[in-house]
Protein backbone atom coordinates (compact mmCIF):
# COMPACT_ATOMS: atom_id res chain seq x y z
CA UNK A 1 0.00 0.00 0.00
CA UNK A 2 1.41 3.39 -0.94
CA UNK A 3 1.26 6.29 1.43
CA UNK A 4 -0.56 9.42 0.36
CA UNK A 5 1.81 12.33 0.55
CA UNK A 6 0.88 15.78 1.81
CA UNK A 7 1.06 18.71 -0.59
CA UNK A 8 4.29 20.62 -0.57
CA UNK A 9 4.57 23.24 2.17
CA UNK A 10 5.08 25.98 -0.41
CA UNK A 11 1.70 25.11 -1.91
CA UNK A 12 0.00 25.60 1.47
CA UNK A 13 1.90 28.85 1.97
CA UNK A 14 0.82 30.19 -1.43
CA UNK A 15 -2.83 29.31 -0.74
CA UNK A 16 -2.64 30.96 2.69
CA UNK A 17 -1.15 34.17 1.24
CA UNK A 18 -3.87 34.24 -1.41
CA UNK A 19 -6.59 33.74 1.21
CA UNK A 20 -5.10 36.45 3.43
CA UNK A 21 -5.05 38.93 0.54
CA UNK A 22 -8.64 38.18 -0.39
CA UNK A 23 -9.99 38.23 3.19
CA UNK A 24 -7.89 40.92 4.87
CA UNK A 25 -6.42 43.11 2.18
CA UNK A 26 -9.50 43.33 -0.02
CA UNK A 27 -9.24 47.13 -0.08
CA UNK A 28 -5.72 47.00 -1.47
CA UNK A 29 -5.21 47.30 -5.24
CA UNK A 30 -4.00 43.69 -5.43
CA UNK A 31 -6.96 42.43 -3.40
CA UNK A 32 -9.45 44.30 -5.58
CA UNK A 33 -7.75 43.06 -8.73
CA UNK A 34 -7.95 39.46 -7.52
CA UNK A 35 -11.63 39.79 -6.58
CA UNK A 36 -12.46 41.38 -9.95
CA UNK A 37 -10.60 38.62 -11.76
CA UNK A 38 -12.38 35.90 -9.77
CA UNK A 39 -15.79 37.49 -10.36
CA UNK A 40 -15.14 37.97 -14.07
CA UNK A 41 -14.17 34.33 -14.55
CA UNK A 42 -17.07 33.11 -12.40
CA UNK A 43 -19.53 35.12 -14.51
CA UNK A 44 -17.85 33.96 -17.71
CA UNK A 45 -18.26 30.33 -16.60
CA UNK A 46 -21.95 31.03 -16.02
CA UNK A 47 -22.16 32.46 -19.57
CA UNK A 48 -23.26 35.82 -18.22
CA UNK A 49 -22.07 38.98 -19.85
CA UNK A 50 -23.29 42.56 -19.78
CA UNK A 51 -23.52 45.11 -22.55
CA UNK A 52 -25.25 48.40 -21.96
CA UNK A 53 -27.25 46.93 -19.08
CA UNK A 54 -28.72 44.18 -21.27
CA UNK A 55 -27.85 40.55 -20.83
CA UNK A 56 -26.00 38.94 -23.70
CA UNK A 57 -27.63 35.55 -23.42
CA UNK A 58 -27.55 32.22 -25.17
CA UNK A 59 -30.79 33.00 -27.08
CA UNK A 60 -29.13 35.95 -28.82
CA UNK A 61 -26.05 33.83 -29.58
CA UNK A 62 -28.30 31.13 -31.13
CA UNK A 63 -30.07 33.80 -33.21
CA UNK A 64 -26.75 35.13 -34.54
CA UNK A 65 -25.60 31.59 -35.38
CA UNK A 66 -28.61 31.28 -37.72
CA UNK A 67 -27.47 34.34 -39.67
CA UNK A 68 -25.30 33.11 -42.56
CA UNK A 69 -22.96 36.09 -42.19
CA UNK A 70 -22.00 35.04 -38.65
CA UNK A 71 -22.60 31.27 -38.80
CA UNK A 72 -18.87 30.49 -39.03
CA UNK A 73 -18.02 32.33 -35.80
CA UNK A 74 -17.41 30.73 -32.42
CA UNK A 75 -19.43 31.75 -29.36
CA UNK A 76 -16.49 33.94 -28.38
CA UNK A 77 -16.64 35.76 -31.73
CA UNK A 78 -20.41 36.19 -31.44
CA UNK A 79 -20.02 37.64 -27.95
CA UNK A 80 -17.42 40.06 -29.34
CA UNK A 81 -20.04 41.25 -31.84
CA UNK A 82 -22.65 41.71 -29.13
CA UNK A 83 -20.25 43.62 -26.90
CA UNK A 84 -19.50 46.17 -29.63
CA UNK A 85 -23.05 46.48 -31.00
CA UNK A 86 -26.11 48.40 -29.94
CA UNK A 87 -29.65 47.08 -29.96
CA UNK A 88 -32.17 49.43 -31.62
CA UNK A 89 -35.91 49.07 -32.08
CA UNK A 90 -37.94 50.71 -34.83
CA UNK A 91 -41.73 50.98 -35.02
CA UNK A 92 -43.53 50.01 -38.23
CA UNK A 93 -43.29 52.83 -40.77
CA UNK A 94 -40.10 54.27 -39.29
CA UNK A 95 -37.28 55.12 -41.68
CA UNK A 96 -34.23 53.23 -40.38
CA UNK A 97 -31.79 54.81 -42.86
CA UNK A 98 -32.30 57.50 -45.49
CA UNK A 99 -31.03 57.61 -49.05
CA UNK A 100 -28.22 60.15 -49.38
CA UNK A 101 -27.31 60.17 -45.68
CA UNK A 102 -23.78 59.38 -44.61
CA UNK A 103 -23.56 55.78 -43.54
CA UNK A 104 -22.93 55.46 -39.82
CA UNK A 105 -23.54 51.80 -39.25
CA UNK A 106 -24.12 48.24 -40.29
CA UNK A 107 -27.60 46.91 -39.46
CA UNK A 108 -28.64 43.31 -38.88
CA UNK A 109 -32.36 42.58 -38.50
CA UNK A 110 -32.87 40.43 -35.39
CA UNK A 111 -36.66 40.44 -35.64
CA UNK A 112 -39.26 42.14 -37.79
CA UNK A 113 -39.09 43.21 -41.43
CA UNK A 114 -38.14 46.18 -43.58
CA UNK A 115 -38.22 47.35 -47.19
CA UNK A 116 -35.43 48.88 -49.24
CA UNK A 117 -36.87 51.73 -51.32
CA UNK A 118 -35.58 54.29 -53.78
CA UNK A 119 -38.30 56.86 -54.21
CA UNK A 120 -41.55 54.93 -54.72
CA UNK A 121 -39.83 51.82 -56.05
CA UNK A 122 -39.46 48.88 -53.69
CA UNK A 123 -36.06 47.28 -54.32
CA UNK A 124 -36.08 44.53 -51.72
CA UNK A 125 -37.85 43.11 -48.71
CA UNK A 126 -35.67 42.23 -45.71
CA UNK A 127 -36.48 39.89 -42.83
CA UNK A 128 -34.84 38.29 -39.83
CA UNK A 129 -31.13 37.70 -40.46
CA UNK A 130 -30.90 40.20 -43.34
CA UNK A 131 -28.37 43.00 -43.13
CA UNK A 132 -27.85 46.35 -44.80
CA UNK A 133 -25.47 49.29 -44.60
CA UNK A 134 -22.43 47.25 -45.56
CA UNK A 135 -21.72 49.26 -48.73
CA UNK A 136 -21.62 52.63 -46.93
CA UNK A 137 -19.61 50.96 -44.21
CA UNK A 138 -16.98 49.73 -46.66
CA UNK A 139 -16.61 52.79 -48.90
CA UNK A 140 -17.99 55.67 -46.81
CA UNK A 141 -20.36 56.71 -49.62
CA UNK A 142 -23.85 58.04 -48.85
CA UNK A 143 -26.71 55.56 -48.42
CA UNK A 144 -27.99 54.34 -51.78
CA UNK A 145 -31.62 53.82 -50.65
CA UNK A 146 -34.11 54.23 -47.82
CA UNK A 147 -34.75 51.31 -45.48
CA UNK A 148 -38.16 51.46 -43.81
CA UNK A 149 -39.49 49.14 -41.10
CA UNK A 150 -42.67 47.44 -42.37
CA UNK A 151 -43.40 46.04 -38.90
CA UNK A 152 -41.90 46.57 -35.47
CA UNK A 153 -38.24 45.73 -36.09
CA UNK A 154 -35.26 45.10 -33.83
CA UNK A 155 -31.77 45.62 -35.25
CA UNK A 156 -28.26 44.99 -34.08
CA UNK A 157 -26.22 48.04 -35.12
CA UNK A 158 -22.44 48.11 -35.48
CA UNK A 159 -20.52 51.34 -35.97
CA UNK A 160 -18.01 51.49 -38.83
CA UNK A 161 -15.14 51.27 -36.34
CA UNK A 162 -16.63 48.27 -34.53
CA UNK A 163 -17.38 46.47 -37.80
CA UNK A 164 -13.91 47.09 -39.22
CA UNK A 165 -12.37 45.85 -35.97
CA UNK A 166 -14.60 42.79 -36.12
CA UNK A 167 -13.54 42.07 -39.71
CA UNK A 168 -9.87 42.41 -38.73
CA UNK A 169 -10.31 40.00 -35.81
CA UNK A 170 -12.64 37.58 -37.64
CA UNK A 171 -11.90 37.55 -41.41
CA UNK A 172 -14.70 35.02 -41.93
CA UNK A 173 -17.17 37.90 -41.40
CA UNK A 174 -15.65 39.67 -44.43
CA UNK A 175 -16.00 36.45 -46.43
CA UNK A 176 -19.68 36.23 -45.47
CA UNK A 177 -20.22 39.86 -46.50
CA UNK A 178 -18.56 39.25 -49.87
CA UNK A 179 -20.72 36.17 -50.49
CA UNK A 180 -23.87 38.17 -49.73
CA UNK A 181 -22.75 41.09 -51.91
CA UNK A 182 -22.09 38.67 -54.80
CA UNK A 183 -25.55 37.12 -54.34
CA UNK A 184 -27.19 40.57 -54.38
CA UNK A 185 -25.23 41.59 -57.48
CA UNK A 186 -26.40 38.43 -59.30
CA UNK A 187 -30.02 39.18 -58.34
CA UNK A 188 -29.66 42.73 -59.66
CA UNK A 189 -28.14 41.44 -62.92
CA UNK A 190 -31.07 39.01 -63.35
CA UNK A 191 -33.59 41.77 -62.66
CA UNK A 192 -31.97 44.02 -65.27
CA UNK A 193 -31.82 41.27 -67.94
The tens-digit pLDDT sequence of the chain (193 residues) is 444 544 444 444 445 555 555 556 556 555 566 666 555 555 554 444 444 444 466 777 888 888 877 888 888 888 888 888 888 999 999 999 999 988 778 899 989 999 999 989 998 999 998 989 887 777 778 888 999 999 999 999 988 888 788 888 888 888 877 887 888 788 878 877 7
Structural domains of the chain, with CATH = 9-45 (no CATH), 65-192 (2.60.120.10)
Give the relative orientation of helices 160-169 and 171-192 as an angle to the nearest 10 degrees. Answer: 110
According to DSSP, residue 70 is labeled G
CA-to-CA dists, residue 1 to 7, 96, 110, angstroms: 19, 75, 63
Q: What are phi and psi for residue 132, nearest 5 degrees?
A: -155, 165
Instruction: Name the H helices within the chain.
Output: 9-24, 29-45, 58-65, 75-84, 134-139, 160-169, 171-192
Amino acid sequence: MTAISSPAASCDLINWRFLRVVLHDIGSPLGLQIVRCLLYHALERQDIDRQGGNMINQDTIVLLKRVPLFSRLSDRGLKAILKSATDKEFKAGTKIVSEGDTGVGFYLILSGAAEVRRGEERLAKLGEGAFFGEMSLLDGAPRSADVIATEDTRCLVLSPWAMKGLIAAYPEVALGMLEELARRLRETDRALS
